[in-house]
Amino acid sequence: MPLTLAPAVPATAPDVPERVAAQVEAEGYCVIADVLTADQAGALVAEVERVEAEHDIAVGANEFEGFHTRRIFNLIAAGEPFRDVVLEPTVLAAVEAILGVDFLLSGTTSMHISPSETPQLLHADDGMVSLPRPHPATMVTTLWALSDFRAENGATHVVPGSHRFPDMPKPGDRHDVAHAEMSAGSVLVLHGSTWHGGGANDTDGSDPSDERYGLSIQFVAGWCRQQQNLMLGTPIDVVATYPPRLQELIGYSMFRNVMGHVNREHPRALLGLDGTPDMVWDKMQR
Ligand SMILES: O=C(O)CCC(=O)C(=O)O
């Protein structure tokens, strides 16, 4: 029997950031229900399909990425709707409640799971972080259901409480998992240490809803390395047209007024903006 997940926090609740942060700390995950409307999620599916077709995106070539799963990386460069979704305020506030101010975007990826996909290997997204487990969250993954996530079509597998386990999952071991069933527009927020993986798609493909469309929008604390190199992933003249908050999230920002400077200037100087830094050194006194 699959495990069950705690009830979702409605996106309209007054205290979403605090509730999400508390549940992620306690359980390693939290679902926020209905962050997007079904129509908004459907419009993003259409955008994913457009980019897949334009770039002839193929299924994965290894077991981890999935032989029946299409992934588009660096999605923010693929269209404005993807950039808008990164800036969704409820989810950003929840991420800040977990990672603290000056956190960064770490990557944007779509995962389109088709029939016949097998369950992805369980893993933790911060598995490369050289800190002994368990440790406070340095990374947060938000998994957005763009279509309904059902157990049969590949809803994400989650091992509740696994962010506190001292080890990473070993390939081949069997573990009880919960299936993160969510309606289109809902978001699963994961502590970076939580064991999870894409689910199996056991449908026969006879219905359009058998295709499972999801987005992974990942964040890291401001002192960590981002998984995707977002600074190099988009030409600087294009980044200059992005909303200021997105520029900051990509990395044109500083952590605690020191990490990220460029020749003692704020990196936004590279975007043609005022780069006068508010350096922490200026305030340090004996
Ligand atoms: O598609 C999913 O539900 C999860 C995918 C995932 O965890 C990954 O690719 O790292």
> Mean pLDDT in each 10-residue stretch from start to end of the chain (286 residues)?
94 97 98 98 98 97 95 97 98 98 98 98 95 98 98 98 96 93 98 98 97 98 97 95 97 95 94 87 89
216 with 257, same domain: the answer is no
DSSP H/E element including 33: strand 29-33
- Classify residue 183: in a domain, yes or no: yes
Q: So what's the pLDDT on residue 1?
A: 82
Task: Give residue 252's domain range.
Answer: 233-283
Buried b (16+ CB within 10 A) or exposed e, 114-148: bbebbebebebbbeebeeebeeebbbbbbbbbbbb
Q: So what's the pLDDT on residue 277?
A: 78
54 with 185, same domain: the answer is yes
Buried b (16+ CB within 10 A) or exposed e, 254-276: bbebeebbeeeebbbbbbeeebe
Ligand 1 pocket check for 250: Cβ under 6 Å: no
70 with 211, same domain: the answer is yes
- Residue 108 belongs to domain with CATH number: 2.60.120.620
Q: So what's the pLDDT on residue 275?
A: 83
180 with 238, same domain: the answer is no
Q: So what's the pLDDT on residue 109?
A: 98
Q: So what's the pLDDT on residue 276?
A: 84
Ligand 1 pocket check for 214: Cβ under 6 Å: yes
140 with 264, same domain: the answer is no
Ligand 1 pocket check for 106: Cβ under 6 Å: no
Q: Among 168, 196, 211, 217, which residue has the most ligand 1 atoms within 8 Å of its CB, making it the best to mutate? A: 196
Domain count, the chain: 2
Last residue of a domain, which of 220, 247, 269?
220
Q: So what's the pLDDT on residue 222?
A: 98
Residue closest by Cα to atom 2 of ligand 1 = 198
- Classify residue 199: in a domain, yes or no: yes
Interior CA angle at 147 toward 143 and 148, to 5°?
Answer: 90
- Classify residue 1: in a domain, yes or no: no
- Classify residue 50: in a domain, yes or no: yes
Ligand 1 pocket check for 217: Cβ under 6 Å: no
- Classify residue 228: in a domain, yes or no: no
- Classify residue 55: in a domain, yes or no: yes
18: left (phi over 0), alpha (psi -120 to 50) or beta: alpha
Q: So what's the pLDDT on residue 194?
A: 98
110 with 239, same domain: the answer is no
Helix crossing, 89-99 with 16-27: angle to 10°? 50
- Classify residue 63: in a domain, yes or no: yes
107 with 179, same domain: the answer is yes
Max distance between CA atoms of the chain, in angstroms, equals 72
Q: So what's the pLDDT on residue 127?
A: 94
162 with 184, same domain: the answer is yes
Ligand 1 pocket check for 111: Cβ under 6 Å: yes
Q: Are 24 and 140 in contact (CB under 8 A)?
A: yes
161 with 41, same domain: the answer is yes
258 with 210, same domain: the answer is no
Of ligand 1's listed atoms, the one at least distance from the Cα of 66 is 9
Q: Among 67, 111, 227, which residue has the most ligand 1 atoms within 8 Å of its CB, making it the best to mutate? A: 111
52 with 157, same domain: the answer is yes
27 with 124, same domain: the answer is yes
